[in-house]
Structure 1
């Protein structure tokens, strides 16, 4: 008999994770009830596959180039679709067209520390998830 345990983790007032243990694989259900708030442009500690279970979201993905410049693109992640996210993908959720969204992620192994980012006037700032101060990213 399979025994599935669910651990709820409230990240903030608009984002809750439900960790599923006891499946043949690790999985987490994310429930978003609003777009990301200030200072929530981020990357991840691991790569993962995301399955959009209910609702949809629109995200902005940032790409930092070798010369220190950056560009961004917007993607609509629709219900019933799946996509792969690398640990180094920098993104933020900018809209929830249906008002909320549920995703199931299947994480891979830990790869790196998580960072939060700010992009201001052509400059890039970042901080580790457990630090308060942003520092400018300067490319040599």
Structure 2
């Protein structure tokens, strides 16, 4: 894949994420923060609005990925061990609850609404992510 192809794919993906967040906000009056929607689906929190909307949004994420994979063909993926994925998922979930939102809620929806809290949250999680990747790579633990 060329750099231009990669940039085009990133632009298309980002545009779809922005469009879905806009449709959710303008059409339903809800923030498209995945952690909050998932928390509603599993009953961790009760927020206003239809629970079916949250469930539909969460179910559409893997279904959309499956459709994209079917249309584009196989995609090469590499994952860390399952234990690392589970631990990472738990830590991200805890952090999302602690930070009153996840990367999609703060980074996409919050920044687009000029939320100061989202600006701080996004700066923190992006900085920690960059430091984590640099540390993992320096230790030779990258997969």
Q: TM-score range by the shorter chain?
A: under 0.3
Write 1 or 2 for the structure with the bigger share of strand: 1
Superposition TM-score, scaled by structure 1 size: 0.26
Larger Rg, first or second structure (1 or 2) = 2
